[in-house]
Structure 1
Amino acid sequence: MSAIDSLPPLREVIATHDLRAKKSLGQNFLLDLNLTAKIARQAGDLSACDVLEIGPGPGGLTRGLLAEGARRVLAVEKDARCLPALAEIADAYPGRLEVINGDALEIDPLAHLTPPIRVAANLPYNVGTELLVRWLTPKQWPPFWQSLTLMFQKEVAQRIVAQPGSKAYGRLAILAQWRAETRIVMDLPPQAFTPAPKVHSAVVHLTALDQPKYNADAAVLSRVVAAAFNQRRKMLRASLKGMAPDIEDRLVAAGITPTQRAEEIPLEGFCALAREVAR
């Protein structure tokens, strides 16, 4: 019998430890261990990797990651009510699970992890996008992680993989696709969660590239993209006029028509414009 089979069902764990999901913590628990194992498999072969998990809750995905062979899992959980349930999992997998009680936005996990590192998490809705942006914008690239396998609201997942010309295309798509390969690997209905959220969810897998797809200064690219999409209905010559007095000339030099709008410009075009602005 495997260790995961020796642990009680998650509904029983939740009842035993009175783990009612808290809306204030963005909690929606995934209780189907077949689904959590499937998500863990989307992260690839974990046998030679440490895995960072944010917001494990009662430990459904944690159990999946360990059962699928993760070398070690570091689980960061803000809700102290979940710690006894996670301690039971740690006992079932001796030496392979470390749990930190704290806020993922304030903790440096690298002190507890050994490369290669992958991140896999059913991210709390209220901090998911902020964590992703942090992981995509470190001071040094390549980042500490090889891949990210993350669950988001489906709308956020679609923004990460969006292509030019779509309403979902924006800053998050450019940020993610500049430095990573991105794809949606699973869709989950509200009924898969307890309590059921009002929205569908999706799992996105991002694989870090050794180098960004196109040359550009990260800070300049970020400024250009933010300015362009903050006024996405305006023509670029208007939304970017604060970037440089001769912004129309720079747009043309980057191969962009000044009357185009942000959502029409592919990643390569924004990188070319960032290079022109940097000059």
Structure 2
Amino acid sequence: MTSLPPLREVIARHGLSASKALGQNFLFDEQLLDRIAAIPGNLDGRPVLEIGPGPGGLTRALLRAGAMVTAIERDPRCLPALADLSEAFPGQLELIEGDALAIDQASLFDTPFAVVANLPYNVGTALLVDWLSSDRWPPAWSSLTLMFQREVAERIVAKPGSGTFGRLAVLSQWRSSASLAMKVHRSAFTPPPKVMSAIVHIEPGDMPEGVRPAMLSRVTEAAFGQRRKMLRQSLKPVPGAIAALEALGIDPTKRAETLAIDEFVALARVLS
């Protein structure tokens, strides 16, 4: 590995600036980036998918940890800076230009891969729901280590009964474990976003039998789409849902945030 110039110098040399339209915010603190890369455990020789690497701050940390990184970057301005990393870490980095939402990520790997990413704010939730909604389980990914706005991160790890408990929490926890791994202050970014950030770590668990992920997704979307209404109102668009509530002994006057995750799973199982 050759010595690398500071990230600020790389960005200046390539004339880069964070794009608001692409949801970009750059991290320069290399010690912080190394800490993020350590969250999934030992990455030496392991395949890693990174979404939205930008100028390559987190990419550097992953490569230093020995990871075999496949990076998907939509912004062509960042590709020259990332190409410099390919030269510095021969054989460790594969660059793909494109939209991660439009790419079959699993087809890029022969073995389970870890996902580590400072996700662009404008596509982070959509990517997470896509990873969590797979019919294949265990999924192609072995873990997800993802940076979100802190408000979103807290919704992902929320527990039933809390004000932040919702669809993201159910999808993240019904067959996975989700934890808040690290909080990141807004001052760590350039430019500083208006909100704080946090990193969530998710690992797949056992798949409940008899449940179709698409049905659980539909039930939670309906239930939390009108979260202030009682279940007997919010679940009306889902055929059979009200009868299923009665069959399971779930009070239809409850609101969605008061149900346990197991109750959502049981409901989806009946409807599946």
Name stretches of at least 5 consecutive residues in structure 1 with no aligned partner.
none
Confirm whether residue 189 of structure 1 aligns to residue 185 of structure 2.
Answer: yes
Is contact 1:236-1:259 (8 Å) kept? yes
> Which residue pairs with 1:276 in the alignment?
270
The alignment partner of 2:83 has SS state of helix
Query: Given that residues 14 and 20 in structure 1 are in contact (C-alpha distance below 8 angstroms), is that contact kept between their aligned partners in structure 2?
Result: yes
2:260 — aligned with what?
A: 266
- Residues 187-226 of structure 1: pairs in structure 2 closer than 5 A: 187-209=183-205, 211-213=206-208, 215-226=210-221
Task: Measure how far apart 1:259 and its partner are.
Answer: 1.2
- State how far apart, in whole Å, the 1-side matches of 2:251 and 2:25 are: 45
After superposition, what is the alpha-carbon deviation per residue over 1:151-175, rounded to whole angstroms, capped at 9, x for unaligned?
0000111111011111211111101
- Opposite residue 258 of structure 1, the aligned amino acid is P
Q: 1:57 and 1:51 mapped to 2: Cα distance?
A: 16
Amino acid at match of 1:128: G
Post-superposition offset of 1:213: 4.7
**Pair 1:235 & 2:230 matched:** yes
Aligned partners of 2:44 and 2:19: how far apart in 1? 33
SS at match of 1:156: helix
Instruction: Report the AA paired with residue 256 of structure 1.
Output: I
* Cα offsets for 1:77-124 (capped at 9, x unmatched): 111111111111111110010111111111223343231311000000
- Whole-Å Cα distance in 1 between the matches of residues 266 and 227 of structure 2? 19
- 1:257 is displaced (CA, Å) by 1.2
Q: Which residue is 1:46 aligned to?
A: 43
- Of 39, 53, 56, which aligns to 2:53? 56
Q: CA RMSD of the aligned region, Å?
A: 1.6
Do structure 1's residue 176 and structure 2's residue 161 form an aligned pair? Answer: no
With normalisation by structure 2, the TM-score equals 0.95
What letter is aligned with 1:68? A
What CA distance in whole angstroms lies between the structure 1 residues aligned with 2:11 and 2:185?
21
Percent of aligned pairs with the same amino acid: 57
Note closer, same or farther for the CA distance 1:214–1:268 as it changes in structure 2 (3 Å cut).
farther
Unaligned runs of 5+ residues in structure 2 are: none
Correspondence 1:127 to 2:123? yes
Q: Is the 8 A contact 1:159 1:172 kept in 2?
A: yes
CA distance in 1, matches of 2:209, 2:228: 26
1:96 is matched with 92
Separation in 2, partners of 1:17, 1:108:
30
1:203–1:273 Cα change, 3 Å: same
- Partner Cα distance (2:269, 2:241) in 1: 14
Aligned counterparts of 1:138 and 1:190: Cα–Cα separation in 2? 32
Separation (CA, whole Å) in 1 of partners of 2:101 and 2:159: 29
Whichever residue aligns with residue 144 of structure 1, its letter is A
Residue 65 of structure 2 is matched in structure 1 by: 68
C-alpha contact 1:120 1:149 (8 A) present in aligned 2: yes
Q: Hey, what's the Cα distance between the residues in 1 that align with 2:51 and 2:160?
A: 31
Separation in structure 2 between the aligned mates of residue 243 and residue 30 of structure 1, nearest angstrom: 43
Q: Is the 8 A contact 1:50 1:114 kept in 2?
A: no
Q: 2-side partners of 1:9 and 1:23: how far apart?
A: 23
- The one-letter amino acid of 1:225's match is T
Residue aligned with 1:34, SS: helix
Opposite residue 94 of structure 1, the aligned amino acid is: P
Output one character per residue of 1:235-257: Cα deviation in whole Å (capped at 9) or x when no partner: 1122223334682x531332311
